[in-house]
C-alpha cells in the first residue's frame, strides 16, 4: 500500500528526531567489525531522511555523533569521521537544507570546512535536515548561556535560550525515535524535548525501514498531547 494514503502528515508532526542507535550490535551479530555497522547506518540514514522528507516531514534531526562518543576506540571514531567526510562529498538530496548542530571546533579543520560548504550549498532547501555531530545537549545549553552572558544579558528568558541553542529557528521535535532498544535520551535535545513524544524500538538502526518509520508515525498520531492542559472535548 502506498504509505502516503495511510496517514496524512499534518502540522502536528513537523519535526522528527532520530537517535540512530545499534550500528555496532548490528555488525557484531553478523561477525563483522563495528565500522561496517556504521557504514550501513549511513546508507539507512540517507534512505530514512529522504523518506521522511518525501512524506512531508519538514524538519528532521539525526544524532550522528555525541560529545561522549570520543570515548570510543580511536579506530572507530576515525571510521565514523571518514564516513561523514564521504557523506559530505555526495550531493545532498535536492530540497534539504542541511545544518550541522554541535561543537565543530573539535573536528578536523578540513571536515569542518566541508560542513560549512555543505551548509552553504544547501541553504535554500525547503526542508531542514539537522545533523547532530559532536553534539551534546548539556554542552549546547552551556554554550547558549555563555553566548547570552557575552552579549551582556542579565534577565534571561526561555526565548533567549531557544535563540541561543544550535536549533534556533527550528520547532521542538514533536517525535523522538530511538532505535536499538535502549530507553534513554543520551544527552540529546534535553531542552527541546520538553514535550516531545518518545518512541523506542528494538530495531537496530541499520535494519530501520520506511515501514518502521510508519509505525512510529502511527503511534505518534494515536497519542494525546496535552502540553499540561486538558484533552480537547
Ligand atoms: C550508534 O550506534 C552510532 C553512534 C553512536 C555513532 P552504536 O555505535 O552506538 O551501536 P551500538 O549501540 O553499540 O550497537
Ligand atoms: C547515542 O548513542 C548517540 C548517537 C546515536 C550518536 P550511544 O550508543 O552513544 O548511547 P549510549 O552510550 O548507549 O547511551
Ligand atoms: Mg549505541
pLDDT in tens, 209-220: 999 999 999 999
d(CA 217, CA 208): 14
**Spatial CB neighbours of 193, under 8 Å, sequence gap ≥ 6:** 172, 173, 176, 185
Distance 66 CA to ligand 2 centre (A): 7
Helix (H, G, I), strand (E, B) or coil at 77: helix
Q: Are 16 and 173 in contact (CB under 8 A)?
A: yes
Residues within 6 Å of ligand 1 by CB: 20-25, 65, 69, 80, 180
Residue 194, pLDDT above cutoff 90: yes
Could you list the beta-strand ranges (E) of 88-205.
96-101, 127-135, 175-178, 197-200
Span 178-185, mean pLDDT? 98
Q: Are 59 and 128 in contact (CB under 8 A)?
A: yes
Span 56-72, mean pLDDT? 98
Residue 24 Cα: closest atom of ligand 2 = 8
pLDDT digits (tens, 9 = 90+) for 155-172: 999 999 999 999 999 999
Residue 132, pLDDT above cutoff 60: yes
Hey, which of 22, 79, 186 would you mutate to test ligand 2's pocket, going by the most ligand atoms within 8 Å of its Cβ?
186
pLDDT digits (tens, 9 = 90+) for 78-123: 999 999 999 999 866 668 999 999 999 999 999 999 999 999 999 9
Catalytic residue among 47, 69, 85, 187: 69
Identify the pLDDT of residue 184: 98
**Spatial CB neighbours of 38, under 8 Å, sequence gap ≥ 6:** 23, 24, 27, 76, 79, 80, 83
Alpha helix positions (H), 55-155: 74-89, 109-121, 137-150
- Going by pLDDT thresholds of 50, 70 and 90, the confidence category of residue 7 is confident
Catalytic residue among 10, 11, 21, 219: 21
- Going by pLDDT thresholds of 50, 70 and 90, the confidence category of residue 228 is very high
Identify the pLDDT of residue 1: 44
Distance 77 CA to ligand 3 centre (A): 13
d(CA 11, CA 59): 11
Identify the pLDDT of residue 91: 67
Residue 69 Cα: closest atom of ligand 2 = 9
The residue whose C-alpha atom lies closest to atom 4 belonging to ligand 1 is 65
pLDDT digits (tens, 9 = 90+) for 139-151: 999 999 999 999 9
d(CA 4, CA 24): 32
In sequence order, what are the beta bridge partners of 65?
A: 133
Percent of the chain with pLDDT over 90: 92
| 21 tagged catalytic | yes
Mean pLDDT, the chain, as a whole number? 95
Identify the pLDDT of residue 93: 63
How distant is the alpha carbon of residue 136 from its chain centre?
Answer: 12
Identify the pLDDT of residue 90: 84
Percent of the chain with pLDDT over 70: 95
| 174 tagged catalytic | no
Identify the pLDDT of residue 47: 96
Distance 68 CA to ligand 3 centre (A): 11
Amino acid at each position: 500500500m502506498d504509505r502516503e494514503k495511510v496517514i496524512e502528515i499534518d502540522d502536528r508532526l513537523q519535526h522528527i528526531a532520530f537517535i540512530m542507535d545499534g550500528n555496532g550490535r548490528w555488525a557484531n551479530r553478523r561477525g563483522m567489525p563495528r565500522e561496517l555497522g556504521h557504514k550501513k547506518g549511513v546508507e539507512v540514514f540517507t534512505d530514512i531522511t529522504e523518506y521522511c522528507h518525501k512524506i512531508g516531514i519538514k524538519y528532521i534531526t539525526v544524532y550522528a555523533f555525541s560529545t561522549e562518543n570520543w570515548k570510543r576506540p580511536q579506530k572507530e571514531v576515525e571510521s565514523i569521521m571518514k564516513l561523514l567526510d564521504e557523506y559530505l562529498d555526495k550531493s545532498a538530496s535536492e530540497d534539504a537544507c542541511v545544518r550541522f548542530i554541535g561543537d565543530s571546533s573539535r573536528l578536523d579543520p578540513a571536515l569542518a570546512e566541508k560542513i560549512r560548504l555543505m551548509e552553504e550549498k544547501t541553504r535554500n532547501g525547503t526542508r531542514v535536515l539537522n545533523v547532530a555531530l559532536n553534539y551534546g545537549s548539556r554542552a549546547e545549553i552551556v554554550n547558549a548561556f555563555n553566548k547570552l552572558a557575552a552579549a551582556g544579558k542579565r534577565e534571561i528568558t526561555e526565548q533567549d535560550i531557544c535563540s541561543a541553542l544550535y536549533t534556533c529557528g527550528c520547532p521542538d521535535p514533536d517525535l523522538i525515535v530511538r532505535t536499538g532498544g535502549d530507553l534513554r535520551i543520551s544527552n540529546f535535545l534535553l531542552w527541546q524535548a520538553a514535550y516531545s513524544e518518545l518512541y523506542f524500538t528494538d530495531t537496530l538502526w541499520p535494519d530501520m525501514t520506511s515501514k518502521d518509520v510508519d509505525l512510529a508515525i502511527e503511534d505518534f498520531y494515536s497519542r494525546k498531547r496535552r502540553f499540561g492542559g486538558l484533552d480537547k472535548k
